[in-house]
With several copies, the nearest count.
Chain A
């Protein structure tokens, strides 16, 4: 079946749109908008009827793998089940057709939902003040560093120019630091996979604005030295920032606020489940401590004394706005439904089973026939995800991590995150999540073992995989060298 784009299906004169009737005088456009401000050639949008659009995108959809079809253990992405209730409640007209500038008096349900969600997130984080505004985790990170900047500027003192990040950090962390106008300073990792405390101590000085940390980190390791780390960071007057991408491991078990963090971001689309949409939307709310609160973005959702909810724009020390309106409300609805569905016990159970599933899968992969090729990067109990190294597999079987990933595609499984964290050679980062069954984990482990067995006999099979997918390995280098990023029309 040849791949055609919607533009290639276009035939002059076809249409899906019927305009509502012109029920007002047909004034010449020249009277309304001067000709020199107007367009002369229409945009070459496709000309297609409704059935063709439906077929085109329906067929395209079948060229995607999705979570509702199979296992998707993409580490650090928390691909947990997306409850179907969430689309129903997000689609209620009272939510879906609510204008963001509606008078707060006539948006009380939405504001109450946001306020309730703020309270819940604050309780989960152990930090009382929440802004829902950021649009994604990385946006939350940026908010966190701008809050840090505002905090330091408000306090006065010498200018701070550096932000510390461990070398295990998500790629978003250093990128965010740069966007916030700081310099990245890397901190090393100790043999247990935690922060190298001595290295941290040596780098923590009065020029440091913040330490950004993920705990458990991207190695799946909970840093047991967190209290000491917090004390070092606070000792130099810096803030401690919690990257919440891995919150799914600890909900109801421990709290960033209790560990000493000042600012936390949540990935609502991870821990609090959102359909990932092929790369969004999501939301990255932040929770902060008392001392950071004055700088939170505006507007803030507040509860007035009479019980009414409102939007507070009157925040003199606020960093301002990070985007339009109040944030990704549609995302809030889904995550709020999730929190209410699971409740206190259910959230803890989610984290417990997430960690149980990860450790069980790790145990299965520690068995003979696998562990000698794909050893765990850290030989200990993991949190909700864990890292394997494909280095022995590469050495002994000539199979790169990428080859293993591609061969998994032929087995109908989405590969784990590959080549991250950077610290581990030929890394594979696996996060099964709590919504997968034991049978699925057993099957996955069996597939890995099978691929390795196959590779021992003939490594070429995996090296040339995949075979059963709509396309096979693609020329990415060529695409980057001569970018064709739109259709010539």
Chain B
């Protein structure tokens, strides 16, 4: 008997008697014999809890995590510190184990959390309408594209090359389904090329998709790009990193219609990429086109304040083929972690964190740019991530640093052939000045060593 089930032999006999059959097998009589699996599943036998733990611990030990190295890897997810109070709350079974709050009377905790979360996202983005979360960042971009399709039905979407490669890929995949084509707007000097955007725009453009800061870490002049899009009646979708929004102008003030983004950095673990959550906020006019769940405030029959899932006529279980999305299970627990994190940071903390990141990033950028063989890939303003060019094979340099316990960052060549010499370096509040200095020293040595190694045998090292 499994330790998660309770049916003893005596239970089984009593239950089968009550049902009126003589074996469990009889309960499966509807399944044609030819379709019955005539052998056990070819899976290992079950194990005791301690054995499963040991196996998974051994697997986990074969990963090099941010606990094991000094990591400057970002590119969409960040090794931010997750305060311990988040664990203590989200592991409470009352938050951990219920499902979607279909019965609001016994789900007020979860519903109020959604309401508080929506308020926080609305504050961060400067947009009045937030849903209760979607899966994660890149698919949120895809969902925003679908909203644009529902809103104006136009066939073309323009996406800046500064948008995360995964977001562009996801948007393209999904748009192929709902019938839009995605075109790219190139970068210039590290930011979206306004002239190219203007040239690509037309009245058949459904939406323009931007990212703030963009994949190269640059702070975009979103308002300027938005103004261009508006001239053609296109919607503007902006994928935002939420933490820098503490110091950057909120998309709602820049004319952005839909702000989405990856929520991992708000109190969620890295988890090798998920689960995290995506946030999704929009201007008032889109409220009935929003995907996913939305909680609203109301009162009960006794006049007490309460919360419910609202605007459900958008949703798949009511509207079926006319639903604004097919989302059913989303990321409530991760969004809870997000709103706890934002409450932990608080009004001033979000600003302080943004300023700390900006200053440490500036320090790191200067420090690396001063190295021999390292130059800036662009000089646009940055907040928490920046790109450099190496005068050496990037993969080999990164490998050298890994040997010293340093993860130097993201090799841009993985997604941008034009930046094959590029390295994207992320700074979090867990990377101190000492860590940055250590990176700089190791990077300097590694670049020097790889440049030397690259020189044909017999030739002298280039000073």
Contacts and interface: CB of A to CB of B under 8 A. Distances in A.
Nearest to B323: A175
A142 interface: yes
Contacts, number: 778
B411 to A, nearest CB: 9
A329 B274 contact: yes
Contacts of B53: 85, 88-89
B66 interface: yes
Interface stretch (A200-208, A250-258, A286-294): A250-258
B24 A355 contact: yes
B332 A278 contact: yes
A40 B34 CA distance: 51
Interface in B1-38: 1-12, 14-16, 18-21, 24, 26-32, 34-37
A33 interface: yes
Interface string A200-225: 00000000000000000000011010
Interface centre among B16, B272, B347 (most CB of A within 10 A): B272
A415 interface: yes
Interface string A261-303: 0000001010000011111111100000000000001000000
A275 B41 contact: no
B50 interface: yes
B432 interface: yes
Contacts of B21: 359, 381
B138 interface: yes
B47 A136 contact: no
Interface string A219-244: 00110101100000000000000000
A447 to B, nearest CB: 15
14 contacts: A13-B9, A15-B349, A16-B3, A102-B64, A135-B136, A179-B174, A222-B28, A222-B31, A252-B40, A324-B136, A330-B275, A414-B103, A435-B5, A436-B6
B311 interface: yes
B95 interface: yes
B249 A38 contact: yes
B152 interface: no
A7 B1 CA distance: 20
Interface stretch (A340-348, A369-377, A392-400, A450-458): A340-348
A325 to B, nearest CB: 3
B322 interface: yes
| 4 closest residue pairs by CB, A with B | A277-B333, A94-B60, A325-B273, A100-B273
A128 to B, nearest CB: 12
Interface string A455-489: 00000000010100111111110111001111101
Contacts of A120: 43
B279 interface: no
Interface residues of B, number: 217
B47 A340 contact: yes
B105 A253 contact: no
Given A46-B346, A52-B6, A328-B275, 12 more contacts: A17-B3, A57-B336, A110-B60, A142-B174, A176-B326, A254-B36, A278-B101, A319-B176, A323-B136, A349-B1, A356-B7, A360-B15
B349 A473 contact: no
B4 A81 contact: yes
A108 B275 contact: no
Interface string B160-184: 0000101101101110111100000
A187 interface: no
A107 B61 CA distance: 9
B312 interface: yes
Interface string A80-104: 1111111111111111111111110
Given A337-B52, A436-B6, A325 B77 contact: yes
Nearest to B35: A254
B11 A438 contact: yes
A322 B170 contact: yes
Contacts of B135: 135-136, 139, 323
Nearest to A384: B27
Interface centre among A77, A135, A136, A170 (most CB of B within 10 A): A135
Given A43-B347, A322-B170, A479-B298, A97 B65 contact: yes
Contacts of A345: 40, 45-46
Interface string B105-135: 1111110110110111011100011101101
B367 to A, nearest CB: 9
B344 interface: yes
Contacts of A141: 326
B91 interface: yes
Contacts of A50: 3-4, 85, 344
Contacts of A486: 115, 118-119, 122, 128-130
Contacts of A21: 48
A362 B84 CA distance: 34
Contact of A22 (B59, B311, B356): B356
A187 to B, nearest CB: 14
Nearest to A405: B103
Interface centre among A80, A91, A149, A279 (most CB of B within 10 A): A279
Contact of B299 (A331, A348, A474): A474
Interface in A152-175: 170-172, 174-175
Nearest to B172: A320
B264 to A, nearest CB: 9
Nearest to A325: B273
Contact of B85 (A54, A124, A346): A54
B272 to A, nearest CB: 4
B103 A415 contact: yes
B446 to A, nearest CB: 15
Contacts of B333: 275, 277-281
Given A47-B346, A89-B53, A356-B27, A98 B63 contact: yes
Nearest to B409: A101
B189 interface: no
A341 B43 contact: no
Contacts of A436: 6
Given A38-B248, A61-B89, A179-B177, A484 B296 contact: yes
A180 B386 CA distance: 37
A280 B63 contact: no
A5 B60 contact: no
A190 interface: no
A478 B223 CA distance: 37
A184 B326 CA distance: 14
Interface stretch (B196-204, B302-310, B370-378, B447-455): B302-310
A390 interface: no
Given A29-B358, A222-B30, A435-B6, A359 B311 contact: no
Contacts of A16: 3, 83, 85, 343-346, 349
A181 B119 CA distance: 33
Contact of B360 (A24, A81, A327): A24
Contacts of A175: 316, 319-321, 323, 325-326
A327 to B, nearest CB: 6
A383 B36 CA distance: 15
Interface centre among B5, B273, B297 (most CB of A within 10 A): B5
